[in-house]
A and B are shown apart, each in its own frame.
Chain A
């Protein structure tokens, strides 16, 4: 497929809204899922550290 120019590629033969609306929302949601997973991991680790310090102090 030869689009000729970036303008033609972005225009998607007049269907830009539908095609890019599909692809951008997909990309956005996938990135959102990855960010949420990273944040969840971080918060679990933060709680573990808090818990760990509390236990160590309790041991003394």
Chain B
């Protein structure tokens, strides 16, 4: 059996597929976020300690998960591009960065708005918050470095090195609540222990996480399509596409 694994590794053949996938994942994101918000606001009970303030959890935790997950995916594509010099890998890495930065900012923003009523402060320089802020700067650094280099292939390579070095920050964020004595609470959901929250709260959070995940895929694919057109504008297939959609 021969599967054409490499067929979609060229921008030309991936472009139409990416368009279709973006549409489907966008629709899935809308459904998942709709269901997640319904569970979060109308099914999940009021928290005994935090009252309604805890409802920030339904975007805070999924956003924080996505901020780390997207960084790993970005670094994976960047590393692949660095190792095999494939055109599409660098484009995918660049396409993911702004969405990753968006979710990192949202994790910090919603965390701040959650911290004020529960901890009494908007911000504290503890390990979890500081390492997440460093993640935001890593995303910004990656984007700024790529934007500063005119030749896209060289920009990809420089960005890839930065992205790969920055990966070390991800386990630091994840384990920060264990390694250091932080104001931020430990993980509510972990692979080794039963979750320490009501089932409906957990369901709402997981459904929202899927919604954010689908949204990220859709947004990254839409951005990848723009990057493909921009970088390959001199090629015949882009010229054809430009004429076709004119």
Residues of B within 8 A of A26 (CB): 59, 63, 106, 109-110
Q: Are A45 and B242 in contact (CB under 8 A)?
A: yes
Of chain A, the residue at the smallest CB distance from B111 is A22
Complex CA gap A29/B56 in Å reads 16
Main secondary structure on B side of the interface with A:
helix
Q: Are A13 and B45 in contact (CB under 8 A)?
A: no
B126 within 8 A of partner (CB): no
Residues of A within 8 A of B114 (CB): 18, 22
Residues of B within 8 A of A13 (CB): 46, 51-53
Nearest-Cβ distance from residue B30 to partner chain A, whole angstroms: 11
Given contacts A1-B43, A33-B99, A37-B226, is CB(A48)–CB(B60) below 8 Å? no
Q: Are A48 and B239 in contact (CB under 8 A)?
A: yes
Complex CA gap A48/B226 in Å reads 12
Interface size on B, residues (CB 8 A): 41
Complex CA gap A10/B245 in Å reads 45
B7 within 8 A of partner (CB): no
Interface size on A, residues (CB 8 A): 30
Which residues of chain B from 224 to 246 have a CB within 8 Å of any chain A CB? Answer: 225-226, 229-230, 233, 238-239, 241-243, 245-246
Given contacts A40-B226, A44-B226, A44-B230, is CB(A49)–CB(B51) below 8 Å? no
Main secondary structure on A side of the interface with B:
helix
Nearest-Cβ distance from residue B42 to partner chain A, whole angstroms: 5
Given contacts A1-B45, A51-B233, is CB(A30)–CB(B215) below 8 Å? yes
Given contacts A1-B45, A13-B51, is CB(A22)–CB(B222) below 8 Å? no
Out of A15, A25, A41, A48, name the residue touching B117 (CB < 8 Å). A15
Binding site for B on A (CB under 8 A): 1, 3, 9, 12-15, 17-19, 21-23, 25-26, 29-30, 33-34, 37, 40-41, 44-45, 47-49, 51-52, 55
Pick 28 A–B contacts, CB within 8 A, sort by A.
A1-B44, A1-B46, A12-B53, A13-B52, A15-B53, A18-B56, A18-B113, A18-B116, A19-B55, A22-B59, A22-B109, A22-B113, A25-B106, A25-B109, A26-B59, A26-B63, A26-B106, A30-B215, A33-B99, A33-B102, A37-B226, A41-B225, A41-B229, A45-B245, A45-B246, A49-B246, A51-B233, A52-B239
